[in-house]
Amino acid sequence: MKYNPLISAFFLFFSIQFFGQVYTEKIIGEKNKELKDSLKVEKYPYALPIWGEKVAQKGYKLPYSAGISVNYFWQDSEIVISNLNVGFNNGPMFNLDEIVRFDKSSVEAGAITIRPDIWLLPFLNVYGIFGKATPTTKINAGIWIPDADNNWSQIASFNTKANFSATTFGLGLTPTIGIGGGWLALDMNMSWSDVSALDKPAFSYIFGPRLGKTFKLHKPDRNVALWVGGFRVHISGDTKGNINLSDVLQLDGAQEKSR
């Protein structure tokens, strides 16, 4: 069985930012003249980003040079399972899509992600991704067989529950620029997820452009932002793995169908 729906869920948990965008902003406008003038004479206190002091003196407001974020995310999503191939004792694989038919399957997972980051350049943020998840796949299915006239009917139904563990690490960078509260960010990252049911870590690349506008509130350093964007996920190659049949199938509770 291919695990692409499950792997895709992991990458969404670990690789998408769920917090507000931080950026280097060009200060403009007469009402911000005092702030702009203060930046030109104030000594920049941090070693990073490179050329930070020169950029600040040209009227740009820079974010803190480094930071860390911790996110927890929970999701319960329906998944579609197809192309079921089964083999025993490392023997030949047989397609069972006609015999085993899935219904209302889902994956539930809670994931925690830690992201340390630094501003390497005034307009370039670099970050790491470290994540841990404990997903559960719930599957409902039926067993179908044909009669002498090749009419298929369901003879039994069963449900399974498989628990996994997943660890993810990765690297990302975000070129970004802001002018007068408007900003553009081009977030991109690559990550590897080691899932207990797979024979090797799965690789992904995610690109997520965002365009937005930040509105300042009356209290200092507080604001609200509106933005639009999207993301593209690329998973490299097929993901394969093995699960002991006894770990997921509890056929003792199968419900027989009268013929």
Amino acid at the residue 158: F
Tell me the C-alpha to C-alpha distance, in Å, between residue 7 and each of 79, 89, 90, 242, 245. Answer: 11, 25, 24, 15, 21
If you average pLDDT over residues 111-117, what whole number do you get?
A: 90
pLDDT value of residue 41: 65
pLDDT value of residue 252: 53
Least confident of 11-15, 115-119, 190-194, 201-205: 11-15
Spatial CB neighbours of 4, under 8 Å, sequence gap ≥ 6? 235, 238, 239
Least confident of 119-123, 171-175, 202-206, 231-235: 231-235
pLDDT value of residue 93: 83
Contact 167, 137 (CB under 8 A): no
Tell me the C-alpha to C-alpha distance, in Å, between residue 173 and each of 15, 127, 177. Answer: 12, 6, 13
Q: Which two tokens stand for residue 25?
A: 């902003």
Amino acid at the residue 88: F
Higher pLDDT, 86 or 191: 191
If you average pLDDT over residues 215-224, what whole number do you get?
A: 77
Residue 20 has pLDDT above 60, yes or no: no
pLDDT value of residue 15: 56
> In the structure, what pLDDT confidence band is assigned to residue 125 with cuts at 50, 70 and 90?
very high
Taking residue 15's Cβ as centre, other Cβ atoms within 10 Å add up to 26
If you average pLDDT over residues 87-104, what whole number do you get?
A: 81
Closest CA to 15 of 171, 215, 227: 171
Cα-Cα-Cα-Cα torsion 34, 35, 37, 39, nearest 10 degrees, comes to 160
pLDDT value of residue 259: 44
> In the structure, what pLDDT confidence band is assigned to residue 240 with cuts at 50, 70 and 90?
low
Task: Give the span between the Cα atoms of 22 and 223, in whole angstroms.
Answer: 12
Closest CA to 131 of 149, 118, 115: 115
Taking residue 179's Cβ as centre, other Cβ atoms within 10 Å add up to 14
pTM over 0.75: no
Task: Give the span between the Cα atoms of 178 and 198, in whole angstroms.
Answer: 42
Task: Give the span between the Cα atoms of 105 and 79, in whole angstroms.
Answer: 6
pLDDT value of residue 257: 46
pLDDT value of residue 1: 45
> In the structure, what pLDDT confidence band is assigned to residue 242 with cuts at 50, 70 and 90?
low
Bridge partners for 222 per DSSP: none
If you average pLDDT over residues 56-61, what whole number do you get?
A: 82
pLDDT value of residue 118: 94
Bridge partners for 118 per DSSP: 66, 126
Closest CA to 229 of 26, 66, 20, 72: 20
pLDDT value of residue 162: 78
